[in-house]
Amino acid sequence: MPIRRLLLPALALLISSALAQSDPPPVKSWGRYTLQYTPRNEARTYIPAQVLLKQGTRTLLTASDDTIRTELQPLRPGGLPELVITLYSGGAHCCTTTLIYTQDNGRLENIGVLEQGNYPARYADLNGDGTKEVVVYSDGLAYYDWSFASSPALGTVLGWDGLRLADRTRAYAYLPGQLAVSYFKELLNELKTAAADDEGPRAELSGYYGNMILAGRGLDAERVLRSQVFSKSPTLAAWFSAHRGDLIGASYAQPEGRLSIFSGAVYPPPDQQP
């Protein structure tokens, strides 16, 4: 699943580890269920890829998109690993959607639909408890006041909290912290050469600030910006003052703002299909 943008070194490193997990062998059986996969067909009329999740002869879920990946990941304790179905639309800068299912309660149950935008997810056991967290790089600030190529990413983590997948970013604050450090370094470099109206410094400032908020250090970031950035660039200071509320809102909306539960049998739902 391609990434179409210029990446900071830290973000490129994090995403490369996610892409290294790409294209596992398709899941054919999962406990009491089976999966049937049909790749997209472009021979005459375009037909998207499709996966059927079945119990015996009964089809419980039909999912379709340009590209589909299936894998098993242990995202909650006990029972079988969860079934992860990743759908990619094939569009520019969009869109990746992940459906997550469990059967640990004796029935097929969706425990999450994650709208990821441009970035793949990475699955890693970050605390050594035997279940994996979902590391997601959000493009929630894409196109805000800059082109997509300059849009900053926000580092977030979802994990099982005993009842559901929930925002666990603060427990792994070093992940958005790494991105914040990279954005801040780029911001300082840009200030030496960029024109006053260049979009780069605005985007890098926002990447630094948003990721510091996610790491629980938003006030620290404001102090650093006042002492090391705004004294050098009144233009950036004025821009930040005007947009601070939007940046805070966008950062706090991640990642649960992109997570929902799906109870239907066809995805995308018929009313959302072209």
Conformational region of residue 31, where left means phi above 0, alpha means psi within -120 to 50, and beta covers everything else: left
User: Measured between alpha carbons, how far is 215 from 177 in angstroms, rounded to an integer?
Assistant: 6
The 10s digit of each residue's pLDDT in 90-126 is 876 678 999 999 999 999 999 999 988 888 889 999 9
DSSP secondary structure, 65-94, as one string? ESEEEEEEE--SSSSSPEEEEEEE---TT-
pLDDT of residue 5: 39
**pLDDT the model gives residue 3:** 35
Tokens of 78: 């006990």
pLDDT tier at 239 (50, 70, 90 boundaries)? very high
- Amino acid type, 222: E
How does residue 195 score in pLDDT terms, banded at 50, 70 and 90? confident
Average pLDDT over residues 171-191: 95
138 has which bridge partners?
Answer: 154
Residue 46 has pLDDT above 90, yes or no: no
By three-state DSSP, how is residue 140 classified?
A: coil
Spatial neighbors of 176 by CB under 8 A, at least 6 apart, are 154, 155, 156, 169, 211, 212, 214, 215
Look at the chain and count its residues.
274
Contact 161, 155 (CB under 8 A): no
Q: What is each CA distance from 229 to 6, 47, 64, 77, 186, in whole angstroms?
A: 23, 52, 47, 45, 12
pLDDT (average), residues 26-37:
96
pLDDT of residue 9 exceeding 70, the answer is no
pLDDT by residue (tens digit) across 116-167? 888 888 999 999 999 999 999 988 888 898 988 888 999 999 999 988 999 9
Indicate whether 193 pLDDT > 50: yes
Higher pLDDT, 224 or 162: 224
For residue 10, is pLDDT > 70? no
Mean pLDDT of the chain: 88
Helices (H) and strands (E) in the chain, counts: 5, 14
